[in-house]
A = this chain, B = another copy of it.
Amino acid sequence: MTRFALTLEFDGAPFMGLQRQAHGPSVQQAVEDAALAVTGEAATMHAAGRTDAGVHALGMRAHLDIAKPFTPFRLMEALNARLRPAPVAVLSCEAVDDDWHARFSCTGRAYVYRIANRRAPLTLERGKAWQVTKPLDAAAMHRAAQALVGRHDFTTFRSVHCQAASPLKTLDRLAVRREGDMVLIEAEARSFLHHQVRSMVGCLALVGMGRWAEGQVAAALAARDRQMLGLNAPPDGLYFVRAVYPGE
């Protein structure tokens, strides 16, 4: 058995999410089906994050255990050939130690959320960003975001379906900046609760529109009450950017 670490890029639009599900296509199923076709083996894919339906990835990390001998390059090429036409690509592949685990060895995760802040409907960016027509004050959003950085009980920003044992998480970075008509929100933590990034982005957007005072973000956090969540941002704008591992 060789453990292969993969870096995956995917367009989340056609998937019910990363994780295999009974009721529709998933990124996991696409990769496992490709691996079965290539190797003849039923391998289970483990990934650094379990992204929701419609959420994209620029650099998701995952692993597969394969018995048949492959060079990493040949396996990558074969998986990519079999993944077509699904919008999932293996960007890199390497053989790793058996104790390297895409999910459990991961010590950091980074997301970016893209808001297209414009009146005109999206064309080339459709499904790739959240369109907010009201002008956003990115500087106010950035200031308000700093109340969320650090170790907190993020119950307010957690989906009711979240399976994490504890709502306590340490948010290392939450930065908001404008690039033309795009407002970009970068979030970094060891791990996130289910819907945490989208929930934080939704509340920051309310601040950006002027519907929430900057201090309301801190108040919502302190309330530890999902009812205090102003808005959950849609999945279209969310990208899993990278996973961090010790020694990489």
Task: Give A contacts to B, CB under 8 Å.
Answer: 9-11, 56, 58, 76-77, 80, 83-84, 87-91, 118-124, 126, 128
Contacts and interface: CB of A to CB of B under 8 A. Distances in A.
A18 to B, nearest CB: 13
A123 B11 contact: yes
A124 B56 contact: yes
A7 to B, nearest CB: 9
A112 to B, nearest CB: 12
Nearest to A79: B120
A225 B91 CA distance: 40
Q: Which of A9, A120, A126, A128 has the most CB of B within 10 A?
A: A120
Contact of A120 (B89, B119, B126, B128): B89
A128 B124 contact: yes
Copies of this chain, whole number: 2
A84 B120 CA distance: 11
A9 B120 contact: yes
Contacts of A76: 120
A121 B90 CA distance: 8
Q: Which of A58, A119, A121 has the most CB of B within 10 A?
A: A121
Contacts of A120: 9, 76, 80, 89-91
Nearest to A124: B11
A56 B122 CA distance: 13
18 contacts: A9-B120, A9-B123, A10-B124, A11-B123, A11-B124, A11-B126, A80-B119, A80-B120, A80-B121, A83-B121, A84-B121, A87-B124, A87-B126, A88-B123, A89-B121, A89-B123, A90-B120, A91-B120
A216 to B, nearest CB: 31
Contacts of A84: 121
A45 to B, nearest CB: 16
A81 to B, nearest CB: 9
A120 B90 CA distance: 6
A5 to B, nearest CB: 15
Contacts of A83: 121
A121 B76 CA distance: 11
Contacts of A90: 120
